[in-house]
Amino acid sequence: MKLMPYGLGVLPLTLLALLAPSSAAVQAAPGAAPAPVSHRHSAVEISRFLTSFYGLRGPSAYDREHRVSQLLKDKQGESEGADVLLCAQNAPRGIAVGPVTVAQSAGVGWATVTTLWDAGATDTFTAYVRLDSLPIRLDDVICAG
């Protein structure tokens, strides 16, 4: 019987060395930036957000300042006398948020928002939310007419 150049005690150590992470990876881990967490809002999250955002009569001053995109803030600044978040000039008697549609490939979700006015009149507009916005915020509003 011919003897191998290494004993059985060396084989388990070799296997452990192969299975263990490389020393470069271990050294890089403490200083490496954490991997970004990619969250994409679901239809349920967007519905909850829009319902909370619009409430019964429209967004609060806080929501208007902190829960909308810069695009909408700029639009509002250019639209004297009109509320771009409600597509109106005054506060409605009531607001209802419809079902949310999510387009993962476009990175956006949207819902039709219906406003109720005096004498039973209604109007609609579409509210858009980017799926990757953190924190979640209203990205754009498109008025129906």
pLDDT tens, 52-89? Answer: 999 999 999 999 999 999 999 999 999 988 999 999 99
Give tens-digit pLDDT for 13-60: 333 343 444 444 444 455 655 555 578 999 999 999 999 999 999 999
The band of 119, judged by pLDDT with boundaries at 50, 70 and 90, is confident
**Distance separating alpha carbons of residues 33 and 81, to the nearest angstrom:** 47
- Give residue 30's pLDDT: 56
In angstroms, the Cα distances linking 15 to 19, 20, 24, 119 are 6, 9, 18, 80
**Distance separating alpha carbons of residues 136 and 121, to the nearest angstrom:** 31
What's the pTM value of the predicted model, to 2 decimals? 0.73
| Model confidence at 2: pLDDT above 80 | no
Q: Which two tokens stand for residue 24?
A: 């470069």
Give tens-digit pLDDT for 96-108: 999 999 999 999 9
